[in-house]
Structure 1
């Protein structure tokens, strides 16, 4: 049986390295996934008496693998880029968010709930609240992040995942309602929360603090539930994927800063998120004659970033996309720390 892995899953290798899977489409011989935890005697996270460290920045992940485990770096012929990926023969275990939700759901129905940590109980409570408000099936909700590999701490966030585009839209509407009807327990980030976020990523995003606050506070897939930060990732379900690895090719044309108008934000809540744009123009970087059709990113911070009708400015990598008999340009965000995406008429 073919091993299937998708965004939100985690993979453990024979060496004990733990990676988080990126995307739903992978090469035949590898799974594209990025290092998240590695064994280290000085680590603050413990699982099965082994200490682990969490690695955050993309640069740090690449440097660690380059110096110690270069076999998990490869040249991807589809994108022409160096990516992180696990050869399938080195996969020891794969962890699925929907599988953890199934276990937690079972515990919640009996006395084993007492064995759940307070934070895991809170995660389950939020999942139940969303399911009750939205009406989607529980098997389309998963628990991901550090909980999935038993490496959470008391400071961990709540990380949920929703499967299916239709379910994602239903959940966003449910969260919009909950932010009003249950605002005492679930609400957008406070200015203090956002101040911390701004220190971590906003200052390099070319956004002023007041711009950053406005954008972050109108997002529904992230916020605070009972004083714990939550983030909900939404991905397409397996039956929505209409192509396989090798059907689409990408060519890096260079870096550009563009301006344009959002004409479709339907997939802005998904990972990868996508925004269709029109009247795009390059204001800095490489010179191109064709219009850029869309903005795409796998980074969660660019989800729900802009809405239909808004004028935007973004900096990222311009790619030529070849799919079947068609070619077009897109702007890909997230490869570089300097990439940003802001609203001009907010």
Structure 2
């Protein structure tokens, strides 16, 4: 099988470990990743937020540096050398990928499913709103995170979306800015946050307003 990994694609290993591709600059025959979930057959966590259940399976999500330590200690073969950083980072050679889940394919399946819970209604409503007032299409988007893997919680899970294409991204930014200014469809949760929240701002290339 020939793989061509893109940002937010989800490689899955033979053990069932779920990774997430990070960016587009990768060594030949490999991709840098973040490790997201592992089945309970090989990993468990005491973190209350970590458990994910769906399709008869139980997975645990990694938080903070838990995924990095997990790979370094138990699966060092799932690292790839980076010339930029001069060290090995979490990543996969294509030969270790048993399945490559694609955000755009998963989104289309979700939009066509007869299932109609709160989260899927919110997903459809958001995409309908965006496509109605722009030239963007649902095929420009993909979905990642728990929605992609089928173990989301309709009350607590997020809508994790990715958009493909520079022009498409620029148009989406304009659309979202307009919707947030209007305030009837989308509300910025940080509009009501106290300035104290940003007192110890550490980002150098991102202002609190941009955030």
The CA RMSD over aligned residues, in Å, is 2.6
Query: What does the per-residue CA deviation read over 1:114-162, in whole Å, with 9 as the maximum and x for residues that have no partner?
Result: x233212211211121121222122111122211111212311111111
Distance 2:206 2:130 in 1: 29
- The answer to whether structure 1 residue 76 and structure 2 residue 82 are counterparts is yes
Distance 1:20 1:73 in 2: 13
* Residues 35 and 210 of structure 1: CA distance in aligned 2, closer, same or farther (over 3 Å): closer
For structure 1, the residue ranges without an aligned partner over 5 or more in a row are 196-206, 216-256, 258-301, 303-313, 315-339
TM-score by length of 2: 0.82
> Hey, what does 1:102 align to over in structure 2?
108
Say if 1:33 and 1:86, in contact at 8 Å, map to a contact too.
yes
Normalising by the residue count of structure 1, what TM-score does the alignment of the two structures yield?
A: 0.52
* Structure 2: stretches of 5+ with no match in the other structure: 45-49
| 2-structure distance, mates of 1:105, 1:3 | 25
Structure with higher Rg: it is 1
User: Could you say which residue in structure 2 is the equivalent of 1:189?
Assistant: 189
The separation in 2 between residues aligned to 1:25 and 1:180, in whole angstroms, is 35
Off by >6 Å, runs of 4+ in structure 1: none
- Specify the alignment match of 2:25 in structure 1: 25
Counterpart Cα distance in 2 of 1:24 and 1:152 = 26
Between 1 and 2, higher relative CO (CA 8 Å, sep ≥ 6) is seen in 2
Find the residue that maps to 1:134 and give its secondary structure.
coil
Aligned to 1:92: 98
Aligned twin of 2:152 = 152
Please state how far the C-alpha of 1:96 moved relative to its aligned partner.
1.1
Q: 1:67-113 CA distances to partner (integer Å, 9 max, x unpaired)?
A: 21111123223431321111211211111111122223334xxxx2x
**What is the number of equivalent residue pairs in this alignment?**
200
Q: 2:61 aligns with which of 44, 51, 54?
A: 54
Flag the structure with higher strand content.
1
Note the alpha carbon deviations across 1:278-332, whole angstroms, 9 max, x for none: xxxxxxxxxxxxxxxxxxxxxxxx7xxxxxxxxxxx2xxxxxxxxxxxxxxxxxx
